[in-house]
């Protein structure tokens, strides 16, 4: 007998249904044709992994912030370089407009 595979989205929907506490876990299992122990495992896994979701969000945010700061730094460096080149070109060409 081949084991049935469930998508992460489906598992999430079942766990959210359980967490709403509008129906018992047994009732949800019966409605979806899933063994109650399987639903219990999904719920346990979800509750254990939940803090990591927020950690990942914070890490992603920190990474984006660092990338943004590096980009701004590079842009300021480029502006400084271009300003210096422009000043040099103005001197060499005899143009003195500021």
Give residue-wise pLDDT tens across range 16-51.
999 999 999 999 999 999 999 999 999 999 999 988
The ranges assigned to domains in the chain are: 8-93
Q: Which long-range contacts (CB under 8 A, 24 or more apart) does 81-85 make?
A: none
CB neighbour burial string for 3-23, b if at least 16 within 10 angstroms, e if fewer: eeeeeeeebeebbebbeeeee
Q: What is the DSSP string of 7-47?
A: -HHHHHHHHHHHHHTSS-HHHHHHHHT--HHHHHHHHHHHH
pTM of the full predicted structure? Answer: 0.57
Structure tokens at 62: 């920190």
With a pLDDT cut of 70, the percent of the chain lying above it is: 95
- pLDDT average, residue stretch 83-92: 92
Give residue-wise pLDDT tens across range 43-82.
999 999 988 888 888 888 889 999 999 999 999 999 999 9
């Amino acid at each position: 007998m081949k084991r049935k595979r469930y998508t992460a989205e489906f598992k999430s929907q079942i766990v959210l249904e359980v967490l709403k506490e509008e129906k018992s876990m047994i009732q949800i299992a019966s409605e979806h044709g899933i063994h109650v122990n399987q639903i219990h495992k999904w719920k346990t896994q979800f509750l254990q992994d939940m803090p990591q979701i927020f950690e990942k969000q914070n890490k992603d945010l920190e990474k984006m912030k660092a990338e943004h700061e590096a980009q701004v730094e590079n842009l300021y460096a480029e502006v400084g370089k271009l300003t210096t080149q422009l000043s040099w070109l103005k001197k060499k060409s005899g143009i003195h407009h500021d």
